């Protein structure tokens, strides 16, 4: 078995037992990248030199018998909307094609402090707006399980890199499903953490009140470890919560006896493929066999979540992306006359169509005369949806739903139809609207394409989600098999 195929926890103990070196691990990763990257297109920027430097440091530290974190020497890919000092951070946009941040995102400082090795910056939908990674200005990432299909999005690069063995783990960001849906399409494990549990400082904002950075990996242990490394309150992010966060890996337990699982009818209705429903319900049965208790529940406001989501996220985006005006950084149009002309040309040439659509929708719902009818109504709806979830969690410990309505679609299939594209988020957006944690785990396949289920819990109940997933993983064995891509 090659090093790139192993999980972080396996590699961690191999490093401790001197069965391999960090440099060998990173070389194995780059060999894999050399072999498959032209088929997958996960990466926008590779950081081979700095990565090998870092790996050497780790090896020396181990040789000197230093006490290192369990993630030391583990290769990690970082989504290209997470600021890395001295390394291009493009958000897959022409607007930031050559932008090099002078500072690190807080999560990047944390993974550096844990001595993880950054392999490079991975592809995404432009400014994280999309569900297929087709909206990248640079390249279309392909699904490692079928390169004619999309990897999902917006964190398509993060999911595909891990699924293809081009990274051991990765960081993505999730505003409406951007970690869970691509994880589902690529057959890996991805967590959208509780809002406020991971610092957003340095994450280029799409929708501030919904964005969360989260971990992706090929085992529950790996995802739990990485989440432990990145979570925690941050003085630089006023919306992050200062509280005690446990060691989630140490807390893992496969015992689900008595765990109350809610199955909300609204997530299994029309528009969800039968193959998906079947795969999810089989997984639920497995947990039931392990002693979990299944309850049928209802979340009636679900159908409205997607409306509220597109209003709130677009409103915030229209404001967050206004700073890209060709003055301080990023792209500036070549020929212009006045200031306004410079603004308009710069933004029209620098942004792709989907980004323009969202900016204009957001501008519209906030514009005078429409605020109450759209933005305010959406916020009220958000209050209601939160309340519905909170009430439900008085009766159940977790909620299990499909992560996506169907397996990964073909590249180009939905490109010209924004609404069909948005439908891919229908199961994931309510979780962001409510600020809750959601975890995707693979639970079967449809003609070789992975299908994922989503475990939703109450605020800060990540340990419960990990344990449910861990129990399923223990029953089924390895959930994330790397395709050969030969």
List the interface residues with another protein, window 177-236 (CB under 8 A).
Answer: 200-205, 207-209, 235-236
Catalytic residue among 170, 178, 196, 313: 178
3-state secondary structure of 175: coil
Alpha-helical regions (H) of 321-376:
339-350, 353-366
- CA dihedral (244, 230, 156, 312) in degrees, to 10, reads 50
Residue 480 CB, shortest distance to another protein, in Å, is 30
User: Could you say which of 122, 252, 361, 396 contacts another protein (CB under 8 A)?
Assistant: 361
Catalytic residue among 79, 121, 345, 458: 79
Quickly list DSSP for 1-24.
--GGGS-HHHHHHHHHTTSS-HHH
Q: Is 79 a catalytic residue?
A: yes
Residue 391 CB, shortest distance to another protein, in Å, is 15
Give the span between the Cα atoms of 48 and 167, in whole angstroms: 12
Give the span between the Cα atoms of 381 and 400, in whole angstroms: 22
How many CA atoms within 13 Å lie on the side-chain side of 357?
13
Within residues 397-456, the interface with another protein by CB under 8 A covers 418-419, 422
Residue 139 CB, shortest distance to another protein, in Å, is 21
Within residues 17-76, the interface with another protein by CB under 8 A covers none
Q: Is residue 367 within the footprint of another protein (CB under 8 A)?
A: yes
Residue 485 CB, shortest distance to another protein, in Å, is 33
Give the span between the Cα atoms of 278 and 269, in whole angstroms: 12
Task: Give 22 or 194: the residue with its C-beta nearer to another protein.
Answer: 194
Give the span between the Cα atoms of 360 and 318, in whole angstroms: 7
* Contact pattern for another protein over residues 255 through 294, marking x by CB under 8 A: ----------------------------------------
Give the span between the Cα atoms of 245 and 70, in whole angstroms: 17
* Contact pattern for another protein over residues 319 through 358, marking x by CB under 8 A: x--xxxxxxxxxxx---xxxxxxxxxx-xx--x-x--xx-
Q: Is 285 a catalytic residue?
A: no
Distances (CA, A) of 434 to 230, 248, 477: 21, 22, 32
Q: Is 295 a catalytic residue?
A: no
Contacts of 49 (CB under 8 A, 6+ apart): none
Catalytic residue among 83, 93, 154, 461: 154
User: Could you say which of 257, 368, 394, 447 contacts another protein (CB under 8 A)?
Assistant: 368
Give the span between the Cα atoms of 387 and 347, in whole angstroms: 39
Within residues 135-164, the interface with another protein by CB under 8 A covers none
Closest CA to 200 of 231, 243, 156: 231
Task: Give 22 or 320: the residue with its C-beta nearer to another protein.
Answer: 320
Pair 256, 471: CB distance under 8 Å: yes
Residue 206 CB, shortest distance to another protein, in Å, is 11
* Contact pattern for another protein over residues 376 through 395, marking x by CB under 8 A: xxxxxx-xx-----------
Pair 436, 304: CB distance under 8 Å: no
> 75-79 and 117-122: which strand pairing?
parallel
Residue 223 CB, shortest distance to another protein, in Å, is 23
Within residues 77-96, the interface with another protein by CB under 8 A covers 81-83, 89, 91, 96
Q: Applying CB under 8 A, what is the total number of residues that bind another protein? A: 88
Task: Give 239 or 475: the residue with its C-beta nearer to another protein.
Answer: 239
Residues carrying an active site annotation: 79, 154, 178
């Amino acid at each position: 078995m090659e090093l790139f195929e192993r999980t972080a926890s396996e590699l961690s103990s191999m490093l401790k037992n001197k069965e391999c070196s960090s440099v060998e691990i990173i070389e194995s990763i780059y060999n894999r990248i050399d072999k498959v990257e032209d088929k997958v297109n996960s990466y926008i920027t590779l950081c081979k030199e700095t990565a090998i430097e870092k790996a050497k440091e780790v090896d020396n530290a181990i040789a000197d018998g230093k006490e290192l974190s369990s993630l030391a020497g583990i290769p990690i890919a970082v989504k290209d909307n997470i600021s890395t000092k001295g390394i291009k951070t493009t958000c897959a946009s022409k607007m930031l094609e050559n932008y090099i941040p002078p500072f690190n995102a807080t999560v990047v400082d944390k993974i550096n402090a844990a001595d993880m090795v950054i392999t490079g910056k991975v592809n995404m939908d432009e400014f994280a707006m999309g569900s297929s990674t087709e909206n990248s200005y640079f390249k279309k990432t392909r699904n490692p399980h079928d390169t004619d299909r999309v990897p999902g999005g917006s964190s398509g690069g993060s999911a595909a890199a891990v699924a293809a063995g081009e990274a051991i783990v990765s960081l993505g960001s999730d505003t409406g499903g951007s970690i869970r849906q691509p994880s589902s399409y690529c057959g890996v494990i991805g967590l959208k953490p509780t809002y406020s549990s991971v610092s957003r400082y340095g994450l280029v904002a799409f929708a501030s009140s919904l964005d969360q950075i989260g971990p992706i990996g090929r085992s529950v242990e790996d995802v739990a470890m990485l989440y432990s490394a990145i979570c925690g309150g941050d003085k630089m992010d006023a919306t992050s919560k200062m509280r005690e966060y446990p060691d989630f890996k140490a807390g893992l337990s496969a015992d689900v006896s008595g765990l109350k699982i809610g199955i909300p009818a609204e997530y299994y209705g029309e528009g969800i493929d039968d193959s998906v429903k079947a795969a999810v319900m089989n997984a639920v049965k497995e947990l039931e066999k392990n002693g979990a208790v299944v309850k049928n529940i209802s979340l009636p406001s679900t159908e409205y979540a997607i409306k509220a989501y597109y209003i709130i996220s677009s409103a915030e985006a229209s404001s967050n992306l206004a700073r890209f005006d060709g003055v301080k950084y990023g792209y500036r149009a070549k020929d212009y006359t006045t200031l306004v002309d410079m603004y308009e040309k710069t933004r029209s040439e620098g942004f792709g169509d989907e980004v323009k659509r969202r900016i204009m929708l957001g501008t519209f719902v906030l514009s005078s005369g429409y605020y109450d009818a759209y933005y305010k109504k959406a916020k009220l709806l958000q209050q209601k949806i939160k309340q519905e979830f909170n009430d439900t969690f008085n009766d159940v410990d977790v909620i299990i739903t499909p992560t996506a309505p169907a397996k990964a679609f073909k590249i180009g299939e939905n490109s010209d139809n924004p609404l069909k594209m948005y439908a891919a988020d229908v199961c994931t957006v309510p979780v962001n609207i409510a600020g809750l944690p959601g975890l995707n785990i693979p639970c079967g396949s449809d003609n070789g394409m992975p299908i994922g289920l989503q475990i939703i819990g109450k605020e800060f109940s990540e340990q419960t989600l990990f344990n449910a997933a861990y129990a399923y993983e223990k029953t089924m064995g390895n959930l994330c098999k790397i395709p050969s891509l030969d």
